[in-house]
Structure 1
């Protein structure tokens, strides 16, 4: 099986797991609430109609069309950044692969919540601070691994030129083949 198919199946599986959990909660446990670990975790379902975490604080992020647009943008950027990494690295490391899968899984879950349910069903309460769900765990896991990868590879990353990444993404978008050079512009890989 091709690596892209494996990642697609994994992403799809994580999205399905998230949606099945939410369907079970929505139909059977929506009116239930209980503590899990003392005052640390609690089960407390709530529909977040602010569309995103930022929607709680900045009005524009609570508009559905804007949140959907940002979500689609994140999916596209994540895809092309991973393609750039794969093009430069010529191999797939486990950490970038996991970041890609977790980030896209979380982004697709979020997109489904916004389009079909008008918001996210969050159900895990942490210290009475905020409520989150499995999708948020996917995204947070990707963020932690991304920070780890940045710290681990900062010497190589600081050599990257932003216009090389943009050039690669545009070439990838417009053509199916991406070569290392075009005219006198060379795509720089770390």
Structure 2
């Protein structure tokens, strides 16, 4: 049942997000909607079931697996470096016509968040600082959370995937002047591997919320503050002496 539940959570979250996009964009073409609702939902559902199997094989702890982060970051950057070496502006390959395309585009807005907020002209330095601070705070909150709740595969998976996505975003903006996105879901948006990592991080945290019943009881995980951050950061150096 757990496999089926997680399949449903991953698939259902995608379908809920697409419903919002469909309404926001006013899509009325049913054939398009069937494709962008169903295909990614099935893929994500299968991923959710596979990750559930991985949960049984992997024992989570508080240590960050930097080797995995570096490997995933390297994969993300290798794809972009390869594409930058091509005449990528002319590439448009149907994956599942007429919705899914391999269609590279250079997003210089820094983040889809800025596009949504109408802040496409945010400079590189403020963006990098914002992403770095956000990643640091989420990492520290996860460290705090693990002092209150059991360390789980889903919680650790969330922080690792988010860190990969954040690091890739920083590298993109510093070295490439923005993100080279390449998978398009028409008529909505184009994304890349790091966006997939962040989406997976969101789904992982959703499973964690369900498993830990955080929607019912979360009083015990309050109290995250600057004092905890200072103490935790200090502990890194004490342990490494």
Match of 1:17 in 2: 75
Residue 122 (structure 2) pairs with residue 71 (structure 1): no
Q: TM-score scaled to structure 2, two decimals?
A: 0.65
Higher share in strand: 1
Match of 1:165 in 2: 224
Q: Which whole-Å CA distance do the structure 2 matches of 1:176 and 1:6 have between them?
A: 15
Q: Which whole-Å CA distance do the structure 2 matches of 1:119 and 1:92 have between them?
A: 35
Do the aligned partners of 2:94 and 2:102 also contact (CA within 8 Å) in 1?
Answer: yes
Q: TM-score scaled to structure 1, two decimals?
A: 0.81
- Residues 7-31 of structure 1 deviation map (CA, whole Å, 9 limit, x = unaligned): 1001111100000011111113512
Secondary structure at 1:141's aligned position in 2? helix
Q: Pick which of 77-86 and 45-54 moved more.
A: 77-86
Match of 1:112 in 2: 171
Residues 134-173 of structure 1: pairs in structure 2 closer than 5 A: 134-153=193-212, 154=214, 155-161=216-222, 164-166=223-225, 167-173=227-233
Q: Structure 1 segments of 4 or more deviating over 4 A?
A: 3-6
Residue 65 (structure 2) pairs with residue 7 (structure 1): yes
| Count of aligned pairs between the two proteins | 172
The alignment yields a C-alpha RMSD, in angstroms, of: 2.3
Match of 2:155 in 1: 96
Q: Which whole-Å CA distance do the structure 1 matches of 2:77 and 2:121 have between them?
A: 22
Instruction: Give, in angstroms, the shift of residue 127 of structure 1.
Output: 2.1
Gaps of 5+ in 1: 178-190
Secondary structure at 2:103's aligned position in 1? strand
Gaps of 5+ in 2: 1-60, 237-241
